[in-house]
Every structure is written in C-alpha cells, then in structure tokens.
Structure 1
Amino acid sequence: MFFGLLLALGIGLHRDYGVSWDEVNNHLNGLVSLNHVARQLAPDLARRVAAGQSPIPAIRDFPDSDHGPIFEMAAALLGYLFTDGDSRGVYFVRHLLAFFTFVLGTGALCYIGRQRFRDWRWALLGSLLLVLSPRFFAEAFYNGKDVVFMSFFTLAVAGLLWLRQKPTVGRVVVHGLLTALATDIRLQGLLVVLPTLVVLLSLPAPHYPVGRRALLAVGYLGAALGGTYAGWPYLWATPPTELWRAAQQLGNYPWPFTVVYLGQLVPATRLPWHYIPVWLLITTPVAYSALALLGLSSSLTQLIRRRGRGLRSAVGQLDAWLALWLLGPLVLVISRQAVVYDGWRHLYFIYPALLLFAVSGLRDLLRLTRPAAPLRGLAGALMLAAGLELAATTIRMVRMHPFQQVYFSFLPAPVVERLFERDYWGLAYRQGLEWLLAHDTAPKLAVHEQWHYPLYNNALILRPEQRARLHYEPDRVAGARYFMTGYRWHPQSYLDSMGREIHVIRVEGVKVLSIFERNGRRSPSSPSGPGKP
C-alpha cells in the first residue's frame, strides 16, 4: 500500500516541477550516448532518426560525455518512443522516470532496514523518512545525477545483503549488474566493490572452498566491470590513457565558479571543511539528524565495548558497513578538499545510511521509555518532539509544493537569504514565466536574465504557444522589458535601475524569484504593486 500510494503520488505530481539548471545538458548527454550506440549497432536506423532531429554532437566532441549516461539514455529513449518529440512531453517523461527510480531506491532502503531491524515496520519507517525529506522529494523528479545515483547505490547495497544471504552464481551476476548501474551514473558506485569482495572471500570454508570463493569473486567483478563498460558508451570511444586522466580528475572537478556560503562568495575550489556538514544540518529535519547521531553513537559504542566481537554478528557487521557508508565518503571529501557545490548534493548517496541510523536511534529512545528505565520521561519527551517535527515537516512539504528544494530545516528566511544559496536549481523560473505570460497579453515578451540557462530550460516545459511568445535578450539589458532573477550568486537586493518589482515568489518566507519591469511601465495585471506567488 505504501509503495502503491507513493507511485500514485509521483504520477499525480510529476507535471508540477520546472526544468533544473542541469537537465537540458544532461538530456543532451543521453542523446549523445544513445546516438553513439545506434551508430555502432544500427547505423542506417541512426541516420534516419537523426535526419529529423537537431544536430547531435559526436561523443568525442561533447565535453560532458564522461558523465555517467545510463539514466539519461533511458530517459531520452522513452521520450522518443512515448512523446511526439515536443520538449514539454519529453521532460514530463524524464521527471516521471526519475521518480520511479527514486521509488526503487526507497524500496531498496526498506529491504536494507528489514535486514537490519528484523521488523518490516521499522524498515518502512526508514523509507517514510526518505519520502518526508523535502529536498529529496522535490529533487526526485528532476535530479538525474545525485538522487538517481543515491537510488541505484542503495539498490546495489541491498543487492549485497541479498547476495550475502545465499551466495550463488546467479545472485553474484545480478549484484554485479546492480553495481554497474550505480557506476554508470557515477564512478563512486565502485565503492560497493570492496565490501562485496570482502563478503565473498570470507565465506565459510566448509561450504565454500577457496576455488568457489574465487570463482564467485571473479564472476562478480566480471559482471560489474562488464556491465559498466556496456552501459557507458564513452568508454567504448575513449583510449585508456584519456580514461585514466578523466579518473584522476574526479576528485578535483574543474568547476570554476563560486558559491554563496555564510554570506560570502567562496570559490568552489577553496571551500572550508565545514561546508558539507553545515549544509547537511540546515537542509535535513533536525529530528532526523539528532536521532541519526544517537543511533550512530550507540552502534559505535557497542562495537568498541565488545572490542571487535560485535563484528561476528550479522547486525554488528551491518552497522559497521552502514557507518562506513555514512562517514567514509564524508571524511574522504573533506580531507581531500574535493570540489563540491550546490550544497551537499554530491554526497546525497550517504543519506539512506543516515536515515537507518535515525531509525536505530528512535528504537533506542523507545527502549528508554520502559517503566524501569531511569530516563523514561526525557526519552518520552524526545520521542514526542521527533513525532511533532515529522508532522510539521509533512505539512511544510505540502505548503511548499512544488518548491520543496528550498527547504531549510530551522533557519529563518532572512538568515537564509543573507547567508546561503536559495533555489540554485532554478525551478521557480517556470512559475515566473507562466505568471508573466498570463499577466501580459503582448504577442512577444522580451525577458533578460544574467544567465540564460534557467530561462531557456524552463521555457522548454511550457506549452509550444507559450514558448513562441518569449524572446530572450542575452546581452542588452535595456532591450528587455522584463528582468527575472533567482538570486543565484546574488543574495543582495537589486538596484532600482533594474526596474519596478512586479512579482515575487516566496517559499516559507524565502524570496526565490523576482520579476522586474523596466522603464516604469505598468504591467496590465499588477497595477498596485508586486504580484503574489
């Protein structure tokens, strides 16, 4: 019932979100890779299909073809098969497919929770917490990199637990392909390889002699690496020397821009160590973080007290792997000063482990509410507070729709506007453009924005007749009647020279988009001041 309702919710809401900053380029990556596959396997068909399309770059000429394309290839193919080719339908299909992938990841988290807690109710609570994580819910519709990778990575971890229950050749191959799917989104999917090899090579000797263990390990590596190669056409077209250079670049991706952090414009290459922890805390419900800290502390304390004996149990081993899943990437990114931006999205894949520890922490609190427990009153109060925040988060998600990506857990709106990036995905531009088109009946609307991506991208999900009315002025500010901004890289207010602010979109009090009308002209539908969201 839970997963059926979740699917129905996704089907009902997937048309509500705009097109994010990265989506058009990601979609092109899928087309480039799909075109390369078609030219290799069915060149005549590829030429016929390409004849009616805009030119698709060759895979060696596209700068982002080294990004994992498997999801984008599937989205591009389904968009071609099930739409008339108009961008509006293509992006609706993409958003629906992204959410279906999120549902798979939510199911995988439930499976892992059931293995850890031996109770489907606690396991389902972990899945519920993932759904009731506002930023993840919104990004599940359009973030084809980070949330899709989180889902596939969680599937791969679930595959490892499934394999550990009954190590057979068939399960080894399936788990290898799940590892390949995660890796074909991001190379960090290979993080599953080491724990898998540890599990396979440490199988009990009487039932699994050395030769059989080696066979299973080789079979897994073959399926994982072979599946990765098959699902990543860039690997087909690139010499090994270039692949090595691309792999070395992973930890220091050359993103030459700045981020707004603590009120300062900080280069992404010189972020302080606390950038990721701060973003994690301010965008995660407080109860989730506090319970996760409690659960993690309790698990690590048990392992330390038993001086390694706890690793002999299945629960102890799983807790150790979950701790590595949560803390390992975090420590690695901070210690290497890796380039990250847009909050902590590059580490979203550790979030399921955090939620599992949150459920574990809640179970610890529940045990403390027993009649004989000395801290019964305190534990009960904390559980009540956690329940109230869960209910409040649900209400906030409904109230924020479709802008849950701007959720900040406890910071007031003025602090957010002054210290942090807001809608860095640029989703609110869709609603801004729709408002402008509805309130100005002119056949052509000239709009300016400092960066064309959010305007162009969100125009693609509008109806064709709406797109035809928009005219983007990229260079001449004075030539555009309207100026639109999402405040990215610009937390401060704009000067009066930009015009009169006629429309504002606020999310929980945070201003995420403004429309200015230049030259003092009055908008036909807003004669008495700024519009309302």
Structure 2
Amino acid sequence: MSFSNLKTNYPTFIVFFLILIVGVFFYKDFGFNIDEKFHRQNGFYWLHYIAKFFNLETLEKVSRTELAGIKGFTLDSVEYYNKYGIIFDVPAAALELVLKLNDPLKYYYLRHLLVFLYFFVGLIYLYKILKNRFKISNLALFGVLLMFVTPRIFGDSFQNTKDIIFLSFLIISTYFAFKIKDKFSPLNILLFSFFSASAISLRLFGFILIISLILIELVTINRDNFKSKFLKISILIITQFIFLILVWPLLWENTIQNFLNYFPQIDEHFNAKVLFMGKYYDSGLLPYSYLPFWILISTPILHLILFFFGFFFCFKRFFKRYLSIKEGNLFEDYWRGKNEKKDFFILINFLGILFCFLFLNMKFYNSWRLGYFLYFFLVYFAVYGLNLIFYKKNFFSFNRQYAKSLIFIFFAFTVYRMILYHPYQSLYFNFLVPNQIKNNVEVDYTGLSSFHFLNKIVGERKNINEIKIGVASWYPLWRVLELIDHKNSVKVVAIKDNHTADFLYSNRISDVDKNYNKKYDIPTNFMIKEQFKIDGVIIYEVFQRKR
C-alpha cells in the first residue's frame, strides 16, 4: 500500500493512522499472560546462540547475563523447549538490550507494543490482499476494520506473542502467494519464501501455503507445460527450505534431526484437562464440536453472518463448477482467471486447515487460540460476500441502503461490546451466549487478570508489611510478582500452603477434573471476597482467610 498520493488514499491513510494511534495509546492497558516470561527467555536463549555462532563476543556475554537472570521454578526449560521460532522473540530481546531496559514492567510493555506493531503490519498486508483480489479500496478497508474489531484478536494483539505473530506472517505470506499467481518473479518467490518460512517456524500450519501452491501447479500439469511447471515447483521447494533454515536457528545444526525432534515436543507440551460445557476432557480427546462451538460463541455476530454468506456462495460456485466441467479439461474449467484461482487457493487452505483441526486429533486448550489465524479466512470470505452484495449487479435484490444500515448498526454494536470488555477483549463472548455457557468453559487460561488482581490487593493494603497469597487454580501467579511496583513487591509473598495464605486467587483454570479431584478446593477457613465479572463472565475469584 502506497501513501504517496494522500488525496487518493486519504480514507485509507486516516483509518490506518487511527488504528496505530489506538495501539500506541492503549498498549499498556492489557494484562500479562503466562507465556511472556518464557518467550523473553527464549529470545535471549537464541540471541546468545546467534552471537556465539557468529563469534560476537560482547553480545554473547550480555545475552548470557540476561538469560541467567530469567528464573522461575514453574518456568519451562528453554534448553528443551527451544524449538519456537525466533522471528519475534529475538528482535524483542535485542531491542531490550539496545534500549537498556532493566525494569520488568518496561521491557514487557515494550513486547506488548511490538506485538501490536507486528499485527499492524499484518493489517496493512490484509488490505493489500483484499485490494489485490477485489480491486475496491472500500471493501479492502472494511475487511481491515473487521479484523481490527474482532475482540479476541484485538485483545491478543497486545500480548499474544505466538498466535498473533503467526496470524500476521500468514497474512503477509498469503499476499506474496497472490503476487506469485500474478507474476512468477524472483522477487515474489524470495519474499513469499521468507515470510512463509517465518510462519512455519512459528506454527507448522504455515506449511499449508507452500503445499497449496505446489498442489495447484501439479494438477495443472500437461504435456505442453510439464517442464515449466516442474521448474516452478522445484524453485518453490528449494527456496522455501533454504529460507526455513535461515530464519530458524534450530535447523542450523543437525537440520533433519532437530526438525524431526520438533514433532514429539508438540504432542507432549500440554496433557492437562480442558473444561468444555461443564465437563473435563483430555486435550487430545475433545469432542468434534469443540472448535465450531468456540468459533460461534467468541466471534461477533456481524462477522459470522458475513462469513457464512460469503463462504456459502464461494463454495457453491466451485462445487457447481466441479459438476459442470468437461472431461479431460478439469482445472482449465474450474477457475476462470486469476481472481477465481486466488479464491480457490483461499478455499482449499481454509478447508484443509479445518480438516486437520477436526480430524487429526489436534490438542486444543485456552479456548481455540491455536486456531485464531482462521480469522484471516473468516474476514476474506466476509469481504467476498460483501463484494457480491454491493458490487455484483442483479445478485442481491434487497435494498442495498438497508444492508449498509444493518451492517453499520452491527459494527457499532461490536465496537460497543469491545469497549465493555476492555481490557479483557481476549475473553470476549458474543451477546447471544448465555452466562451459563460462558462460565462452563475456560476463560482466563493465560491469567491476564492476575496483574489487575495483584495491583488491587497491594493498593488496598498499603500499610501492611506482608501479604501472603496462594493460588487455587492452575496458574503460576509468581511469574507476575516481578511486575508489581518494586517498592510494593516485598509485600507480596507467594504461599504454597493455601491454608496459611491471607488471600487465594483463582482464574478458574484446572489441570485436573475438579468434579473428582479436590486439588483446587477452597479451604474451609476461607470465604469469598470478590468475583470479578464482565458481561456475566467470571474472570477471576478472590478468597480471604477468615479472621
């Protein structure tokens, strides 16, 4: 997207400027999640490795010192769980050193701002994708706004260093996949390979883009184009794996073995219980309804309506095309022009990912955060539907002005509910979901509320020398203690024996079946002090020892 002609791109420039302003002004409002300390550790681990690899002695020494200072008895071993991609963690660690940040609150806020900036770049490329496909700036801009006001994406765009970063790189990779379809040039190939390799290093689902590109080339091979197609496929595969090695230091040594070792670690990382509709399930044995149900309850109604409308007509078009193709002329008749080919590319990626999630025993926890990147496809199909409604003649008989009014009302209502949930948009449920459902699924798995809880407890008891706090849920609250103002942090003591604590914090997450296991039962010498709720959702509970 070019901003050189402000007269032409004035609305686009204003929207992106306002989005940036929102991020810069509000990034300090959000909580801190359970993974942030580990990912800071991961960043310095790989920064130290890179410095050592290239014999950068000063950087090696400084990064080793920082790495040694990151401790916690509940913290995963970075020497073992070292297979996460570095595309965010290492730049964040390096910037922390450049800015000489020693205050935990400051360097974690820096990471929050960086997550948002990565997401902001992803939004720019989402605009470019939609403009490339639909050729209409207003449609592309509305698609960007749909993504931005998706509450769970908005909330996570300030602290989720895994899924939001992957979403952003998936979007950028898709743009360059589109550019490859426009022109198979060396620059487009190199840029696609870099960004898709970065996405793969974050989540192996990133492989689906290169696989889809190759499959489309394979099924269009014939005698006349065999050599050119074979050359294209070879170039794509070779450049993809070259960049995958370059952007993922894990593969710099023992490439094949280290890559293969990545898979068992994925499977073993989480084996606890997952609360779903009042019952506890093993994370690998969740019902097939888990993912569709979560999408339906945690996505705004406007997004769902537009997505289902667009997806239905896109799928219908290709299905009817399949039924009417001529024998021996399969893919020449299946899409007509580059735009339809791009739609097909999006469709098969979406259906392929959905199939993997539903039928390959994927382990879900923390709602469906692992699948948040599906929101890209939801927005794409939503814009596809809007294109049919407003820009295809004789397609939609309903008064278009009424349609615009309805969309505006739903959009404004979504923004209102985002404000209602602030700063817990990551825990959003749409307005059709009853409280009984909201409070019978996992809500604050990553403990975003813990920082709010600690500050509130400390603020209420400024004259007390020591506050003993226990945890009545599966959450390492002690990871957040370093973020409390230094002059107050001595007041908070983490207690393992809940019976002797002054207060118990619970974010209502359990790694065991609470219906049978009493691990997190509240001791009888405690009473409920507070239930912190938003929109009927219990975010956390506080219990106080009886005097």
TM-score (norm 1): 0.88
Q: Sort the Cα spacing of 1:465 and 1:451 in 2 relative to 1 into closer, same or farther, 3 A.
A: farther
SS of 2:68's equivalent in the other structure is coil
Q: What residue number does 2:19 align with? A: 6
Displacement of 1:2 in angstroms is 1.4
Query: What is the CA deviation profile of residues 256-305 of structure 1, one whole-angstrom value per residue up to 9, with x for unaligned ones?
Result: 10111011011101111111110111111122112211111111222233
Q: Sort the Cα spacing of 1:41 and 1:373 in 2 relative to 1 into closer, same or farther, 3 A.
A: closer
Displacement of 1:136 in angstroms is 0.3
Q: Give, in whole Å, the separation in 1 of the partners of 2:264 and 2:500.
A: 45
Mapping of residues 53-132 of structure 1, within 5 Å: 53-55=66-68, 62-132=79-149
CA contact (8 A) 1:153 1:189 kept: yes
Q: Sort the Cα spacing of 1:467 and 1:319 in 2 relative to 1 into closer, same or farther, 3 A.
A: same
Which one of 353, 356, 361 corresponds to residue 337 of structure 1?
361
SS of 1:402's equivalent in the other structure is coil
Displacement of 1:30 in angstroms is 1.6
SS of 2:528's equivalent in the other structure is strand
CA contact (8 A) 1:71 1:185 kept: no
Displacement of 1:195 in angstroms is 3.2
CA contact (8 A) 1:365 1:383 kept: no
Q: Give, in whole Å, the separation in 2 of the partners of 1:335 and 1:406.
A: 26
Q: What residue number does 2:445 align with? A: 424
Q: What residue number does 2:319 align with? A: 304
1:519 is the counterpart of 2:546? yes
Displacement of 1:494 in angstroms is 6.7
Q: Give, in whole Å, the separation in 2 of the partners of 1:507 and 1:242.
A: 44
1:434 is the counterpart of 2:455? yes
Report the residue type matching 2:466 in the other structure: K
Q: What residue number does 1:347 align with? A: 371
Q: What residue number does 1:446 align with? A: 468
**How many residues end up aligned between the 2 structures?**
513
CA contact (8 A) 2:197 2:244 kept: yes
Q: Give, in whole Å, the separation in 2 of the partners of 1:402 and 1:34.
A: 32
Q: Give, in whole Å, the separation in 1 of the partners of 2:539 and 2:119.
A: 26
Q: Give, in whole Å, the separation in 2 of the partners of 1:341 and 1:366.
A: 39
1:501 is the counterpart of 2:518? no
Q: What residue number does 1:524 align with? A: none
Q: What residue number does 1:523 align with? A: none
Report the residue type matching 1:293 in the other structure: F
SS of 2:483's equivalent in the other structure is coil
1:324 is the counterpart of 2:348? yes
SS of 1:183's equivalent in the other structure is helix
Displacement of 1:360 in angstroms is 2.0
Report the residue type matching 1:15 in the other structure: K
Instruction: Say which is worse superposed, 501-510 or 424-433, in terms of deviation.
Output: 501-510
Q: Sort the Cα spacing of 1:373 and 1:280 in 2 relative to 1 into closer, same or farther, 3 A.
A: closer
CA contact (8 A) 2:470 2:501 kept: yes
Q: Give, in whole Å, the separation in 2 of the partners of 1:431 and 1:153.
A: 32
CA contact (8 A) 1:460 1:467 kept: yes
Report the residue type matching 1:359 in the other structure: V
Q: Sort the Cα spacing of 1:318 and 1:50 in 2 relative to 1 into closer, same or farther, 3 A.
A: closer
Displacement of 1:247 in angstroms is 3.3
1:455 is the counterpart of 2:471? no
1:488 is the counterpart of 2:509? yes
Displacement of 1:149 in angstroms is 0.2
Q: Give, in whole Å, the separation in 2 of the partners of 1:171 and 1:385.
A: 40
SS of 1:84's equivalent in the other structure is coil
Mapping of residues 12-411 of structure 1, within 5 Å: 12-42=25-55, 44-50=57-63, 52-55=65-68, 62-197=79-214, 217-238=233-254, 240-247=256-263, 250=266, 252-306=267-321, 307=324, 309-366=333-390, 376=398, 384-411=405-432
SS of 1:419's equivalent in the other structure is coil
Instruction: Say which is worse superposed, 136-145 or 309-318, in terms of deviation.
Output: 309-318
Name stretches of at least 5 consecutive residues in structure 1 with no aligned partner.
Answer: 521-533
Q: Give, in whole Å, the separation in 2 of the partners of 1:264 and 1:139.
A: 26
Name stretches of at least 5 consecutive residues in structure 2 with no aligned partner.
Answer: 1-13, 71-75, 326-332
Q: What residue number does 1:471 align with? A: 493
CA contact (8 A) 1:273 1:337 kept: no
Q: Give, in whole Å, the separation in 2 of the partners of 1:373 and 1:150.
A: 32
Q: Give, in whole Å, the separation in 2 of the partners of 1:32 and 1:54.
A: 6
Q: Give, in whole Å, the separation in 1 of the partners of 2:257 and 2:461.
A: 55
SS of 1:497's equivalent in the other structure is coil
Report the residue type matching 1:23 in the other structure: E
Q: What residue number does 2:330 align with? A: none
SS of 1:503's equivalent in the other structure is strand
Q: What residue number does 2:73 align with? A: none
Displacement of 1:253 in angstroms is 4.7
Query: What is the CA deviation profile of residues 139-191 of structure 1, one whole-angstrom value per residue up to 9, with x for unaligned ones?
Result: 01111111110110110000111232232212221221111221221222122
Displacement of 1:85 in angstroms is 2.2
Q: Sort the Cα spacing of 1:409 and 1:263 in 2 relative to 1 into closer, same or farther, 3 A.
A: same
Query: What is the CA deviation profile of residues 237-268 of structure 1, one whole-angstrom value per residue up to 9, with x for unaligned ones?
Result: 44633532433665x45521011101101110
Displacement of 1:8 in angstroms is 1.4
Instruction: Say which is worse superposed, 165-174 or 397-406, in terms of deviation.
Output: 165-174
SS of 1:53's equivalent in the other structure is helix
Instruction: Say which is worse superposed, 47-56 or 253-262, in terms of deviation.
Output: 47-56
Displacement of 1:450 in angstroms is 3.6
Instruction: Say which is worse superposed, 18-27 or 501-510, in terms of deviation.
Output: 501-510
Displacement of 1:518 in angstroms is 0.7
Instruction: Say which is worse superposed, 489-498 or 14-23, in terms of deviation.
Output: 489-498
TM-score (norm 2): 0.86
CA contact (8 A) 2:38 2:78 kept: no
Q: Sort the Cα spacing of 1:499 and 1:482 in 2 relative to 1 into closer, same or farther, 3 A.
A: same
SS of 1:272's equivalent in the other structure is coil
Q: Give, in whole Å, the separation in 2 of the partners of 1:79 and 1:413.
A: 43
Displacement of 1:48 in angstroms is 2.7
Q: Sort the Cα spacing of 1:479 and 1:248 in 2 relative to 1 into closer, same or farther, 3 A.
A: closer
Q: Give, in whole Å, the separation in 2 of the partners of 1:391 and 1:513.
A: 28
